[in-house]
Amino acid sequence: MKKTLAQRKYKDSTFRSLFKNKRRLLELYNAIDGTSYTDPRQIELNTLASSIFCGVRNDISFKIAGKTVVLIEHQSSLNPNMPLRMAVYFFEILKGIVEGGKLHDSAPVKIPSPQFVVLYNGTDNYPAEGELKLSDAFEESGNNRRFMEAWVRIININKGCNPKLEDKSPSLAGYCTFVAKAREFERKLRQKGLEEKAARTEAVKKAVKYCMKRDILLDYLKKNSLEVVDMSSFFNCTLKNYKAICRREAQREAKMEALAEGRAEGTSQVAKAMKVAGETVSKIMDYTGLSRREIAAL
Give the model confidence (pLDDT) of 118-166 as tens digits: 999 988 999 999 999 998 888 876 655 567 889 999 999 999 999 999 9
Going by their DSSP bridges, the two strands 151-156 and 129-133 should be labelled as antiparallel
Decide: 17 and 175 in contact? Cβ < 8 Å: no
Q: In this structure, are residues 19 and 27 in contact, taking their beta carbons and an 8 Å threshold? A: no
Q: What is the pLDDT of residues 200-237, one digit of tens each?
A: 889 999 999 999 999 999 999 988 887 787 665 444 44
- Give the mean pLDDT of 61-87: 91
Residue bearing the bigger pLDDT, 294 or 15:
15
Would strands 68-75 and 113-120 be described as parallel, antiparallel, or unpaired? parallel
3-class state of residue 86 by DSSP? helix
Confidence at residue 142, expressed as pLDDT on a 0 to 100 scale: 61
| CA–CA–CA angle 90, 80, 34 (5° rounding) | 60
